[in-house]
Amino acid sequence: MHDIARFITGFKKFQQRYFCDDSSLFDELKDGQHPKTLVVACIDSRVDPAILTGSSPGDLLVVRNVANLVPPYEPEGGHHGVSAALEHGVTKLEVEHVIVLGHSCCGGIQALLAPRDEHGDHTEFLGKWVGIAEHARTQTLRELTHKTPEQQHRACEQAAILISLENLLTFPWIKERVETGRLFLHGWYFDMQRGELSSYLPESASFEPLAPRCR
Ligand SMILES: [Zn+2]
């Protein structure tokens, strides 16, 4: 109950700030949202995009799932929560940026890399979901065979971001907007051990710091 009481106290602070002290932001937002950025983030409790980026209500459209994955464009059947969020953000709200926000110490990627036996990974949903990034797993295990588990995890976390960026471009309405300069895709990586944020640079095919660690 301690957490629940803390959440209510937290909401009261939010209420004080946005509805008592100054209601101008929600006076505007209640008539509609116009976020310019959609973030695909992990469900991980340590990686809240709004907290990490110092954003305010109305700034970010956020879709969160295990390991911040984007599935490929598969319009036939199924319940596609991520694809529906992308469709709403890109075609209805016309966001200008889509950020795939990965992170270190990702439990989803850990599940992807976990050893399997002949019965698979013994999960009902998790294994199938993180299988979206199967190519990142095989690539990591092939190229970094002799590296430490931490180095493999980090490489796989970053490779999975690139798979999601590739998958974004399989959505025709995303590809068309990217090609005409109306939409920009970003692959970001939050390193929680170092307190650092990096971005994927296609020119160097590597993640380069946007905000290097502090000393
Ligand atoms: Zn994660």
Q: Ligand 1 centroid to 206 CA: how many Å?
A: 20
In the reported structure, the alpha carbon of residue 93 is separated from the centroid of ligand 1 by a whole-number distance in angstroms of: 26
Percent of the chain scored above 70 by pLDDT?
A: 100
Tell me the CA–centroid distance for residue 39 and ligand 1, in Å: 14
Residue 132 Cα to ligand 1 midpoint, Å, equals 14
* Distance in Å, CA 103 to ligand 1 centroid: 6
* Centroid of ligand 1 to alpha carbon of 31 (angstroms): 33
Residue 1: is its pLDDT beyond 70?
no
The predicted pLDDT at position 119 comes to 74
Ligand 1 centroid to Cα of residue 180, in Å, is 32
Residue 52 and residue 8: Cα distance in Å, rounded? 22
E-state strands within 21-59: 37-42
Q: How far apart (Å, rounded) are the C-alpha atoms in residues 91 and 114?
A: 37
Q: What is the pLDDT of residues 151-170, one digit of tens each?
A: 999 999 999 999 999 999 99
* Model confidence band, residue 2 (pLDDT cutoffs 50, 70, 90): confident
**Using 50, 70 and 90 to split pLDDT, how confident is the model at 201?**
very high
Distance in Å, CA 212 to ligand 1 centroid: 21
Kindly indicate the confidence band of residue 212, based on its pLDDT and cuts at 50, 70 and 90.
confident
pLDDT of the residue at 93? 98
Which residue reads 């200008």 in tokens?
Answer: 96
Query: What is the percent of the chain where pLDDT is above 90?
Result: 91
Ligand 1 centroid – CA 123 distance (Å): 17
Please state, in angstroms and rounded to a whole number, the distance separating the CA atoms of residues 165 and 26. 33
H and E: helices and strands count for the chain = 9, 6
The predicted structure's pLDDT at residue 14? 98
Contact partners, residue 182, CB within 8 Å, separation at least 6? 94, 96
How many whole angstroms from 202 Cα to the centroid of ligand 1? Answer: 23
Distance of CA 67 from the midpoint of ligand 1 (Å): 4
CA 64 to chain CA centroid, nearest Å: 6
CA–CA separation, 34 and 171 (whole Å): 22
What is the rounded average pLDDT for all residues in the chain? Answer: 96
For 201, the enclosing helix (H) or strand (E) is strand 196-201
Q: How far is the CA of 156 from the centre of ligand 1 (A)?
A: 12
* Domain 35-211: top CATH class: alpha beta
Alpha helix stretches (DSSP H) within the chain: 2-15, 24-29, 49-53, 81-87, 107-113, 126-130, 134-143, 149-168, 172-179
pTM, 2 dp: 0.96
**Domain edges within the chain:** 1-32, 35-211
